[in-house]
Chains A and B, each alone.
Chain A
Amino acid sequence: MEKTTLFDKIWDAHVVKSVPAGPDVFFIDKHFIHEVTSPVAFLNLEKRGIGVKYPHRTIATPDHNVPTVDQDQTIKDKLSRMQVEKLRHNCAKYGIELHDLGSAHHGIVHVIGPELGVTQPGMTIVCGDSHTSTHGAFGAIAFGIGTSEVEMVLATQCIMQSKPKKMRISVEGELGNGVTSKDIILYIISKISAAGATGYFVEYAGSAIRSLSMEARMTICNMSIEMGARGGLIAPDETTFEFLKGKQYTPKGEEWDQAVAHWKTLKTDEGAVFDKELTFDAADIEPMITYGTNPGMGIKVKDSIPTTEGMEGSNKKSYLKSLDYMGFQPGEPIKGKQVDYVFVGSCTNGRIEDIRAVAQFVKGRKKADNITAWIVPGSREVEKLAHEEGLVKILEEAGFELRQPGCSACLAMNDDKIPSGKYAVSTSNRNFEGRQGPGARTMLASPLTVAAVAVTGRITDPREVFDN
């Protein structure tokens, strides 16, 4: 029998039809929607006079532009309020399950999907959001789509997709102390660039990946898009099953056993061929931070910002434009730079494990005076656990401001904006110009590094604070 990859197995099982010299008609098991990329899709359905084909396959939550304070009150920003109200209206009209503001499972769409057990191995999952790749951590094919495609999924439960090429990235060995999955993915992207996996779907493998928790795996898959990949996935294993067991939407009893038996078959065959294979040694990975304006511009915290040596033409110009935006010089060390804000949250690192890591680190310490520290749980469930476990108390004593769930300062659609020219070290996924507010200067790092920065007020290697 032909040796196939995990990606092939899932993809091929979802092809309704292959269009000659064209894309595949690709069936979608689960569809997540939010308030920003869905309204025009619903509007177009209305214009065409058609409805939603399988409403139970779509799940909605408002996350991108919701306020992170006073969520029990009417949203003050008129346009944001209109988008959220549209989402409510559309969900009610078509019978789509909505996890609204204030409800028990409200949160960032990529946090609540796994939390509810909607996300399961072997599924195809899409959402009008590029970080849909997060769900790949469960051994699902999950990727972001545009609004036209949101409309297609609502109307037909299918999209037209050409099958991407396949890449396997293996990370072997043991991670050092103070090194997290965020450092793994920032390290990989820094090695292959922000476009290094464009055209590919990535499978992450190797002993270092296997050893990670589900939360940590989600962080890695989440940022697949930041190296251009359509998505990334990790074969399901006992860690996956353990996480999913007993969740609201996972099968129960005998059906659970059958599901697990099937999920265990979801792996790449020995000898299956990838279009590209990369292997990294976990021992080479250390705490990482970005210094530029795309996620590929990352270095070890202990290293200096690269010089322009070997660069020319538009490449050099683009590089210098980026450093100019950040207010950095080529060749200077990044450690010790003063920081103004820290942001812990987002679909990348807004889960309970991330908040635990930060709380454990700052316990008994205080944030530096020059730092404004925001912590935004990825969901109500995360928020609830953070309270129950006493993490909120620790964080508040350290001077962190806890806000309510949402995408928040990751993309600054709501009022959570970093002021122009200020430096923020964030656990989120993008350091693009203006991403956290017009003129804001973002550096991406792990929750541990962010905690260390919060305490010292400067770019700091978390291992040095541990030692003290």
Chain B
Amino acid sequence: MAYDKFTILTSTAVPLPTENVDTDQIIPARFLKATEREGFGDNLFRDWRYDVEGNPKKDFVLNDPTYTGKILVAGKNFGSGSSREHAVWALYDYGFRCVVSSFFADIFKNNCLNIGVLPVTVSPEFADKLLSAIEENPNTQIEVNLPKQKITLLSTGDSESFDINEYKKANMQNGFDDIDYLLNMSSEIDAFVEKR
């Protein structure tokens, strides 16, 4: 499905330095029973965010009003495990448009790009720099510039460039998804099948 175009995002960020956050934490399996793509944000990080009675856990970052924003700065190996796209739907639905980490799991990264959440891979040093800056001052603004492939900590001007392939970049900037591209290739796919 087409999604919002992504060009330049300037926002405060939410820090989540825990390593190896798997998609079962982002959205536990018992919340995958919907047949439509709506309302997943309510259960984002469900078991870290709420206790068994459904009360918010005070020590979890999403329950701390100090930290808000459209950018999630996460620990390394974010999004490992299950291929559930629901994890990205939950992040998107909650309001995140960009996830920054020094290392992403493959399927999660693909899923992000397919639904318009930009995964930005930075060096471990830059990730640490972002996390310290946010912890020091939760109002720290971060700019994610997709056309220039650059992420900047606006308070200090520190920046780093990030990789994304040209095709995916163009898709994100235009709000296109792969299926638009593939549907236009129907006759080439038929020819490929014919030939085999």
- A residues within 8 Å of B by Cβ? 16-17, 19-23, 25, 27, 36-37, 39-40, 43-44, 47-48, 50, 53-54, 64-65, 77, 79-80, 82-83, 86, 128-130, 143-149, 151-152, 155-160, 162, 164, 194-195, 198-199, 225-226, 228, 230, 293-294, 296, 314-315, 317-318, 321, 411-413, 420, 430, 432-435, 438-439
Contacts and interface: CB of A to CB of B under 8 A. Distances in A.
A240 B164 CA distance: 39
B76 interface: yes
B88 interface: yes
B83 A128 contact: yes
A343 to B, nearest CB: 15
A128 B111 CA distance: 11
Given A39-B35, A146-B107, A195-B80, A158 B24 contact: no
11 contacts: A19-B181, A25-B182, A40-B35, A82-B33, A128-B85, A146-B85, A156-B183, A159-B182, A195-B80, A434-B28, A435-B24
A143 B24 CA distance: 18
B20 A195 contact: yes
Contacts of A438: 28, 47, 52
Count class of interface residues, chain B: 35 or more
B85 A198 contact: no
Contact of B181 (A64, A128, A146, A160): A160
Interface in B1-38: 1, 17-20, 22, 24-25, 28-30, 32-37
A59 B36 CA distance: 21
Interface stretch (B64-72, B137-145, B148-156, B186-194): B186-194
B18 A157 contact: no
A226 B106 CA distance: 12
Contacts of B52: 420, 438-439
B106 A198 contact: yes
B156 to A, nearest CB: 21
Nearest to A16: B192
B83 A21 contact: no
B118 to A, nearest CB: 15
B185 A37 contact: no
B77 interface: yes
A80 B32 CA distance: 9
Contacts of B29: 64, 411-413, 435
Given A19-B167, A432-B22, A146 B35 contact: no
A37 B37 CA distance: 11
Contacts of B17: 314, 317
B115 interface: yes
A158 B183 CA distance: 10
A412 B30 contact: yes
A156 B37 CA distance: 21
A19 B165 CA distance: 10
Nearest to B52: A438
A45 to B, nearest CB: 9
A148 B47 contact: no
B84 interface: yes
Nearest to B185: A25
Nearest to A201: B106
B81 A148 contact: no
Nearest to B166: A21
Contacts of B35: 39-40, 43, 82-83, 86
B50 to A, nearest CB: 10
B177 interface: yes
B131 to A, nearest CB: 8
Interface string B171-184: 00000011101110
Contacts of A54: 193
A256 B30 CA distance: 43
B43 interface: no
A250 B56 CA distance: 54
B99 to A, nearest CB: 15
Contact of B103 (A195, A321, A413): A195
Contact of B189 (A22, A79, A157): A157
